[in-house]
Amino acid sequence: MNHLMRYVCLAALLGIVWTCDKSDDEQPNWGSLDFSTIVALGNSLTAGVSDAALYEDAQKNSYPRLIAKKANVAGDFEQPIISDNGFSWSDKDGRITINPISYEISFLEPGEAVNSDLNRPYNNLGIPMITSGELLTATNTNDVNANHFIDLVLRGSGKTALEEALALDPTIITLWIGNNDVLGAASLGMASSQQPYTSVDDFAANMEAIISTLTQGTPAPIFVANIMDITSLPYFTTLPSSVVDTTDGSRYYLYGVCENGVRKLTDDDLVLYWALPDYFIAQLFVGLGIFPSEATALNDTLVLDATERFEIQGLIDGYNMIIDELVDDNDQVYLVDMHSRYTEMVTTGYQLDGVTYIPDLVIFDDGGGFQLNATRTLFSFDGLHPNRYGYAAVADLFINAMNLAGEAELPMVYLEDLFD
């Protein structure tokens, strides 16, 4: 196994990552590592997306920037900054907002690029919506289903993100890729032929090529995060498959379009987050004596049934085995075990300056009523991407791995780091 990788995983298993107590010593010791040029590769989780958009207030707390901040090199760490409400999946929309009364989800007006004239590549090369295969080959928006973020990050350089990264002569690289290889399919209930998942064999070929390109191009250590069980993200777990009559506590299961047609859902089926307005209406109707039926079935893009859920989890396990093998085979590559730590965090939460934050985005009471958890959640309103507290948790896990690998002493993230 890769040198010190066992100790990185052991430290995580002991829960070091999730509790951050402030230290009096703020001067970081880099140990044997050189943090002078941090380069981050990945997707929206690397870019710093929150509320379904890339926007400046959220980008300040992207996990790579938080690492740079704790290493005292944030002044040289450049990101593709987007003003105001930023850009969502369409550059015609900004971040989302949720009506606290009707729970309708809507998009705000977009912002605009602030520093697109930077005369060098960005340090944060995270590209929202990108997959492992696209990271290898994409140089412009037209290469990948009109993903406008590619042009936003690469700016017509004619290079891939990997080539841009190597052009910076990095001293440390973070890599977190693969979530979108399965998320696109899962987030639409495995119902869209336009959002296929990446097979384990194809993912293996992509990751091998990515790691080979990086290790042949630089001696910098590479910290690679594996893939969380995305089916445990709030997007998949927020809404139960049943509604409750608040007058007597009776529970009624919703109906949904599943692989074999319309049926009554079970506790093993997942109702997806974008069904929030539908769920709210179903909850209201039960109180009026109007119960779920086939006529009110959720469409198949709003349900991930038990069989599909099992298939997604199997893919993620396969992806993570590939990442483990690549780490074992290369002394330049270190594992950041995001999968294990997020599984733990679902149960224990994450402590930041004495406050415990949890993944739950919506809090239900015993009678079936619910409300948004706006102050103590780790996730933004899209149910998929962290908020500032969630990105602090991610940064801490990377920092722990770096400290152990290089005998460094970067401090963990504090609450005050998130509000500059």
Question: Domain check: are 280 and 383 in the same one?
Answer: no
Q: Is 319 a domain residue? A: yes
Question: Domain check: are 355 and 224 in the same one?
Answer: yes
Summarised one tens digit per residue, pLDDT across range 370-418 is 788 888 999 999 999 999 999 999 999 999 999 999 999 999 999 999 9
Question: Domain check: are 226 and 277 in the same one?
Answer: no
Q: Is 85 a domain residue? A: no
Q: Is 287 a domain residue? A: yes
Question: Domain check: are 148 and 261 in the same one?
Answer: no
Q: Is 385 a domain residue? A: yes
Q: How far apart are CA 196 and CA 186, in angstroms?
A: 9
Q: Is 52 a domain residue? A: yes
Summarised one tens digit per residue, pLDDT across range 127-163 is 999 999 999 999 999 887 779 999 999 999 999 999 9
Q: Which domain holds residue 45?
A: 5-78+121-234+309-418
CATH number of the domain that 129 lies in? 3.40.50.1110
Question: Domain check: are 337 and 393 in the same one?
Answer: yes
Question: Domain check: are 61 and 197 in the same one?
Answer: yes
Question: Domain check: are 186 and 288 in the same one?
Answer: no
Q: Is 164 a domain residue? A: yes
Question: Domain check: are 172 and 266 in the same one?
Answer: no
Q: Is 346 a domain residue? A: yes
Question: Domain check: are 316 and 289 in the same one?
Answer: no
Summarised one tens digit per residue, pLDDT across range 298-347 is 999 999 999 999 999 999 999 999 999 999 999 999 999 999 999 998 88
Q: Say how many domains are in the chain.
A: 2
Q: Is 100 a domain residue? A: no
Question: Domain check: are 266 and 413 in the same one?
Answer: no
Question: Domain check: are 181 and 225 in the same one?
Answer: yes
Top pLDDT among 222 and 196 is at 222
Distance of CA 328 to the CA centre of its chain: 24
Question: Domain check: are 207 and 276 in the same one?
Answer: no
